[in-house]
Amino acid sequence: MIAFFLIFLPLLTGLLTFFIKEEKLIKGFAFMSVLATLAVSVLGLTLFKAEENLQFTAQWMQPLGSSFSLKLDGMGQLLCLLTAISYPLVFLGSWNSTYKKPNNFFALMLLAQAGLMGVFLAMDALLFYFFWELALIPMYFLCSQWGGERRIQVTFKFFICTFVGSVLMLIGILYLQSKTPDHSFSLRAFYNLELTTKTQSWLFWLFFLAFAIKMPVFPFHTWQPDTYEQAPTATTMILSGVMVKMGLLGLLRWLLPVLPIASYVWGDVVMSLSIIGIIYASLIAIRQDDIKRLVAYSSIAHIGLMCAAIFAENKSGMQGVLLQMFNHGINIIGLWIIVEIIERRFGTRKISELGGLAQKAPAMAIFFVIIALANIALPLTNAFAGEFLMFNGLLNAKSNYYLWFTVFAGLGIILAAVYTLNMIRKVFYGEVNTITAAATDLKLNEKLALGIIVVLIFWIGVYPQAILDVTDNFSQTLTDRVDISHLFRKK
């Protein structure tokens, strides 16, 4: 039942929110809703973690071979928790923003949450596809309605790109379904398929394109910086903090275990693309003057590292990726909250126009520096544990070029330090100018949101085992499933 509530709570409250008129009431109601979802998600991790509570199956589209089956496995628990934590943080952090037609805004945000939960929980390919698209539709309206000046074209590009990817994935799903003995869309049926290397190869690209566009991995990333820049910041937080995880989850649940041979065969190509993406995005980030675009490019670099570590195909890498998915979500939301505060107070996001904020707003500077250091994976912060495991995974990858991959990925870390520290220096230190002279420090709600994030950063940084325990089982099964060495032994 936990799984069911995680989807239907935001869905129901989202639909109700459309009809509320008063702004304060809307915000309060939406906030209560996300808190309730968070409570349900935490219950799923603690009190009700017995198998039968985490599953939900109902009849749906029986003649087509589909069913409404949801399940919280390790990855599902983690990502649902991330989604559930993100929303209160986002609402809290952007509490002071005002929107035209707030009922529609918060309703669509909640519907997007329902869609995201669905993607993370679906154990049936058709259901997965349903939620995959449904998470996108509210995002389309959110970005197009409340975004910046160029929002309509930019969001449209984003929508078309992801739509192309997802329809190609639909073909892949349909083909796999036609190959299952009982014509079923269930994940288990997909796992039991034995396909030839050739079939797996072209199927791999159908699926990979969809996920690569979503993550995004170089060279499919072109929609991302524009969309992050133009979208309203609360939406950007969800897009970058939670939604990109849809692509990574797709790889881990729907691609690697279903098509293990092709994943091994094409692993080098994907890892090369990811590594190119890391270097490329980091170099561009160094040259950015707009903070939002800088964070957007840094996100591409981080996702690239996770994608590469997934294709290392060993347990350490997997655990690192899962941990880092969570960390990246928390950290980037923290960054966006501060970016939004800066934008709202000063009306600019240009690094060159800002300066000296540390004197005027010391609390903001402290929070920002901590989160930024977490973003570049300093020891004691959460990202350090994740990246450490991922690099360990990369070094043990079965690929012949593992050393090169590790070295270049490591270069990405150094570049990340360059652009992040450079931004901190220019924005928070240096001379106070006319724009920043009237700066005021953080408000209570902002302090609260950022405080929670910082606590999470240190807690996971010191004790990552808490998260790793949740996903341990999942990573182990996954690693066993993608291991194709028994095929070689047979020959």
Partner 1 sequence: MNALIISAILGVVMMFSSILLKQKNAVRSVAVSGIILLLLANILEMSGTVFFKVNTRGMIVFDQFALLFNSIIFLATLLYLLLSAKDMEKVGVNYAEYFALIFFILCGITLVSSFKSLLILFLGIEIISIPLYILTGSDKRNLKSNEASLKYFLLGSFSTGLMLMGIALYYGARGTFSTVIDPLITVTANPLLISGMSLLLFSMAFKVSAAPFHFWTPDVYDGAPTVFTSFMATIIKAAVFIGFIRLFDDAFEQVQSTWRIWIAVMTAVTLFIGNITAVFQQSVKRMLAYSSIAQAGFMLLSLYSMNTEAKEGLLIYAAAYCFATIGIFAVLAKMNDYTFDGFNGLSKREPLIAATLTILLLSLAGIPLTAGFLAKFYMLKATIATPNSLWLVIFAVLMAAVSVYYYFRVIQAIYFKEESTSSPTIEFSPFFKGAMLILAGLVILLGLFPDILVNWLYF
**Residues at the interface with partner 1 (CB under 8 A):** 61-64, 129-130, 133-134, 137, 141, 144-145, 151-152, 156, 159-160, 163-164, 167-168, 170-171, 174-175, 177-178
Q: Which of 12, 48, 47, 46 is nearest to 32 (CA)?
A: 12
Return the number of other C-beta atoms located less than 10 Å from residue 318's C-beta.
27
Residue 487 C-beta: closest distance to partner 1, Å: 25
Q: Which is nearer to partner 1, 146 or 326 (CB)?
A: 146
| CB-based burial label for 434 (10 Å; 0-12, 13-18, 19+) | exposed
Nearer to partner 1 among residue 129 and residue 264 (C-beta): 129
Q: Where are the alpha helices (DSSP H) in 147-250?
A: 151-179, 187-191, 197-214, 223-230, 233-238, 244-249
How distant is the alpha carbon of residue 192 from its chain centre? 28
Cβ atoms of residues 231 and 158 within 8 Å: no
Nearer to partner 1, 87 or 129 (CB): 129
Nearer to partner 1, 46 or 62 (CB): 62
Buried residues in 133-148 as b, exposed as e (16+ CB within 10 A): bbbbebbbbbbbbbbe
- Asked whether 410 and 392 are in contact (CB, 8 A), the reply is no
Q: State the DSSP string of 302-368.
A: HHHHHHHHHTT-SHHHHHHHHHHHHHHHHHHHHHHHHHHHHHHHHS--BGGG---HHHH-HHHHHHH
CB atoms within 10 A of CB 16: 15
User: In this structure, which amino acid lies at residue 415?
Assistant: L
Rounded to a whole number of angstroms, the minimum distance from the CB of residue 201 to partner 1 is: 13
Q: Closer to partner 1 by CB, 40 or 135: give it.
A: 135
Q: How far is the CB of 84 from partner 1 (least distance, A)?
A: 23
How far apart, in Å, are the Cα atoms of 311 and each of 190, 316, 445, 484, 486? 20, 12, 40, 13, 18
| Of residues 151 and 221, the one with the C-beta less far from partner 1 | 151
Return the number of the residue (163 or 401) whose C-beta is nearest partner 1: 163
Q: In angstroms, what is the minimal distance from the CB of 461 to partner 1?
A: 40
Residues 6+ apart with CB under 8 A from 334: 367, 371, 374, 450, 453, 454, 457
Whole-angstrom Cα distance, residue 153 to residue 226?
Answer: 10
For residue 152, the minimal CB distance to partner 1 (Å) is 5
For residue 21, the minimal CB distance to partner 1 (Å) is 13
- When the beta carbons of 175 and 401 are compared against partner 1, the nearer one is 175
CB of 126 to partner 1, least distance (A): 8
Residue closer to partner 1, measured from CB, 173 or 365: 173
Cβ 302 to partner 1 shortest distance, Å: 29
CB of 375 to partner 1, least distance (A): 33
**Residue 70 pairs with which residues in a beta bridge?**
56, 122
